[in-house]
Structure 1
Amino acid sequence: MDWKIELLAVPVSDMDRAKDFYVSIGFSADHDHRVSDDIRFVQLTPPGSACSIVLDSNFTEMTAGSVKGIQCVIADADAALAFLRERGVEAGPVDETPWGRFVYFSDPDGNGWALQQLVPYEG
């Protein structure tokens, strides 16, 4: 039986600001539906990812900015850092580790992301 992660909730305080931020860094705006006066469903997908995020202002009990450690794998940490900085995102420097090269950034609410460039294992 396969278990595939397809959607992660990211708690935010301002849906429009969060959507604009994620779209500005290349996420695809897949859905934006107002279900009721209290519920808005905004789903976004990072480029090349099979897993999406849903902006969460009232689906869960998580507070805005409380998610840390969402990780995406990228091809080039230096290019990713430059891409983010060109869009005004505070990120970097590239963190060099034996298990990868990482770029860290946060969305406007403080939800933390890590971008990992895999490196060949030398063990």
Structure 2
Amino acid sequence: MDWTLEVVIVPVKDIERSIEFYRDRVGFDLDHDTDMGEARIVQFTPRGSGCSIVIGTLPSQNQMEPGSLKGLQLVVSDAATAREELIGRGVDASELTVFDERDGGTFFGFSDPDGNSWAVQELRVRAEKPLIPVEYRGRFGEEYEVE
């Protein structure tokens, strides 16, 4: 049996500020923003990822302190380009750190407005072999457009 991690809850204080950060600055796709009256669920997916993040007001989200999630990890094929892209959108990203010259040894980081932190790892192989091939990236049966 496969067990896939598909959603991570990220605790935030201000939903609107977090939408602006994750959608407009980081560039995650906004999958849905569902207001059910008593609870609100906002889901984002990093382009090319099989795992999404959710912010909102569900009881499980309210049990975590905003900013308490540390070290979520993203993977990109070119860390320098990804870092410059984030900086260009107003995200404060750390310098590149090379722990190992081999593929997978380069990192940088950033945090959201609440202090939830992200590590970004470079795996150059993802340029040639994406984890999820482009033709399989559509959600809920929709077509995925390559920019």
> Is 1:26 aligned to residue 27 of structure 2?
yes
TM-score, normalised to structure 1's length?
Answer: 0.91
Partner of residue 106, structure 1: 111
Superposed counterparts of 1:65-76, under 5 Å: 65-76=67-78
Deviation per residue, 1:49-102 (Å, 9 max, x gap) = 010000144432111000001101100110011011101111120011125111
TM-score, normalised to structure 2's length?
Answer: 0.76
Partner of residue 89, structure 1: 91
Partner of residue 51, structure 2: 51
Match of 2:59, as an amino acid? F
Moved more, 39-48 or 56-65: 56-65
Say if 1:104 and 1:44 are closer, same or farther in 2 by CA, change over 3 A: same
Q: CA deviation at 1:26?
A: 1.2
For the aligned residue pairs, the C-alpha RMSD in angstroms reads 1.5
Match of 1:97, as an amino acid? F
Partner of residue 142, structure 2: none
Structure 1 gaps of 5+ residues are none
Deviation per residue, 1:23-48 (Å, 9 max, x gap) = 11211110101012x31010000111
Structure 2 gaps of 5+ residues are 126-147
Say if 1:26 and 1:119 are closer, same or farther in 2 by CA, change over 3 A: closer
Partner of residue 13, structure 1: 13
SS in structure 2 opposite 1:17? helix
Aligned partners of 1:118 and 1:100: how far apart in 2?
Answer: 8
Question: Share of identical aligned residues, percent?
Answer: 46
Q: CA deviation at 1:118?
A: 2.6
SS in structure 2 opposite 1:11? coil
